[in-house]
C-alpha cells in the first residue's frame, strides 16, 4: 500500500475510477498478491490535471505445508457448505463498509500483537497434502490468552465465530481499508462499536482451522488483499508491546 497526500479538494482517479480522498488530501493505492498491471493515477483540481503511473513486480512466494488438520477443515462435507457460504457473504459485506476516519493515514498501522511469525503473506498452502489458496495474512504465534489489540482507530464491522477462521473480527479503518483478526478464543467487541488504536478487541486462541494458538492478521484495501507486514513497515509506526489479557 502506498499512501499519498495531495491538496484537499483534489479529484483522484485510478485507471478512470474515483479513489476516496480524505479531507486532508490523503489517499491510498494498494496492490494484491499477483498484481502486475500498471496503474495510472490522475489528479484534477482547479482545471489542472497531473498523472503518474505505478507498476508492481510479483514477488517470489514460499510454499507452506500444514498437516494434521481434521478432514472437515480441509474438505468440508456438504452439510457445512451453507454455513461456509454465509460466512463468506458476511465477510464481503463487512469489508464493503467504509467511513471517513483518517487515523490510518496520519498515524499508520500497528501490529496487533508481538510474537513469532509462523506464516507469511502469499505462501502457497498445502493442507494435508492438498493445494489450496495462497495465505493472504500473517500468522503470529502467541499463547492462548494473549490480548489482541486494534491496529488503528476504527469501527467494528464483524465480530463473530466463522467456520474456517473461528473467532473473527473485522475493523473498518476508513476509506476502504480494513483489518481482520482470526482464530480468537474470545471476542471483546461488538458490531458497530468504535474502537481506538491499541484497545483490546479479543483474546488469542486456536479456533477454526488451526493447529495451535496464533493470530491470523489480514489487511484489505477495497478488493485488494495486502501484505500486513509491508503495510505496517511502510507506515513506519512502532509495534506495540505485548500486553496481558484483561479479565
Give bridge partners of residue 42 from the DSSP assignment: 13, 51
Q: Spell out the domains of the chain, with CATH numbers in brackets.
A: 2-54 (no CATH), 63-235 (2.70.70.10)
pLDDT for res 243? 35
Of 145, 189, 182, the C-alpha closest to 163 is 182
pLDDT for res 235? 47
Mean pLDDT check: name the lowest of 55-59, 151-155, 234-238.
Answer: 234-238
Mean pLDDT check: name the lowest of 95-104, 147-156, 228-237.
Answer: 228-237
Between CA 178 and CA 156 the distance in angstroms is: 10
Sign (positive/negative) of CA torsion 57, 58, 60, 66? positive
Of 167, 136, 163, the C-alpha closest to 69 is 163
> Cell digits for 155?
469501527
Q: Band of the pLDDT at 70, cuts 50, 70, 90?
A: low
Residue whose cell numbers read 483534489: 10
The chain-wide mean pLDDT, for the chain, equals 87
pLDDT for res 139? 93
For 80-116, what is each residue's pLDDT tens digit? Answer: 888 999 999 999 999 999 888 889 888 989 999 999 9
Q: Band of the pLDDT at 240, cuts 50, 70, 90?
A: very low
Residue 238 pLDDT > 70:
no
Q: Is 165 within 8 Å of 84 (Cβ atoms)?
A: no
> Cell digits for 105?
493515514
Go through the chain and tell me how many residues it has. Answer: 247
Greatest extent of the chain over all pairs of C-alpha atoms, in Å: 61
Between CA 154 and CA 64 the distance in angstroms is: 32
Residue 237 pLDDT > 60:
no
Estimate to the nearest angstrom the gap between the alpha carbon of 247 and the chain centroid.
27
| Alpha-carbon distance values, 197 to 3, 112, 126, 132, 142 (Å) | 19, 9, 35, 33, 20
The percentage of residues in the chain with a pLDDT greater than 90, rounded to a whole number, is: 64
Estimate to the nearest angstrom the gap between the alpha carbon of 240 and the chain centroid.
17
> Cell digits for 193?
462499536
For 17-66, what is each residue's pLDDT tens digit? Answer: 999 999 999 999 999 888 999 999 999 999 999 999 999 988 888 777 76
State the pairing for strand pair 39-45/48-54: antiparallel
| Alpha-carbon distance values, 215 to 31, 59, 75, 150, 152 (Å) | 23, 24, 23, 13, 17
Amino acid at each position: 500500500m502506498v499512501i499519498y497526500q495531495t491538496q484537499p479538494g483534489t479529484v483522484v482517479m485510478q485507471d478512470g475510477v474515483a479513489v476516496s480522498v480524505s479531507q486532508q488530501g490523503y489517499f491510498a493505492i494498494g496492490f494484491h498478491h499477483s498484481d502486475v498491471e500498471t496503474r495510472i493515477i490522475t489528479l484534477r483540481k482547479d482545471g489542472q490535471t497531473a498523472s503518474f503511473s505505478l507498476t508492481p513486480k510479483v514477488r517470489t512466494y514460499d510454499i507452506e505445508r500444514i498437516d494434521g488438520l481434521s478432514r472437515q477443515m480441509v474438505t468440508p462435507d456438504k452439510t457445512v457448505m451453507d454455513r461456509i457460504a454465509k460466512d463468506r457473504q458476511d465477510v464481503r459485506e463487512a469489508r464493503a463498509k467504509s467511513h471517513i476516519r483518517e487515523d490510518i493515514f496520519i498515524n499508520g498501522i500497528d501490529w496487533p500483537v508481538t510474537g513469532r511469525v509462523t506464516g507469511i503473506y502469499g505462501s502457497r498452502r498445502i493442507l494435508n497434502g492438498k493445494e489450496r489458496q495462497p495465505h493472504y495474512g500473517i500468522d503470529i504465534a502467541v499463547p492462548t490468552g494473549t490480548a489482541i489489540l486494534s491496529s488503528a482507530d476504527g469501527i467494528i464491522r464483524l465480530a463473530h465465530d466463522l467456520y474456517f477462521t473461528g473467532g473473527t473480527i473485522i475493523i473498518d479503518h476508513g476509506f476502504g481499508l480494513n483489518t481482520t483478526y482470526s482464530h480468537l478464543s474470545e471476542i471483546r467487541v461488538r458490531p458497530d462499536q468504535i474502537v481506538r488504536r491499541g484497545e483490546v478487541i479479543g483474546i488469542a486462541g486456536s479456533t477454526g482451522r488451526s493447529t495451535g494458538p496464533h493470530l491470523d492478521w489480514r489487511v484489505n484495501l477495497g478488493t485488494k488483499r495486502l501484505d500486513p507486514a509491508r503495510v505496517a513497515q511502510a507506515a513506519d509506526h512502532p509495534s506495540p508491546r505485548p500486553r496481558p489479557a484483561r479479565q
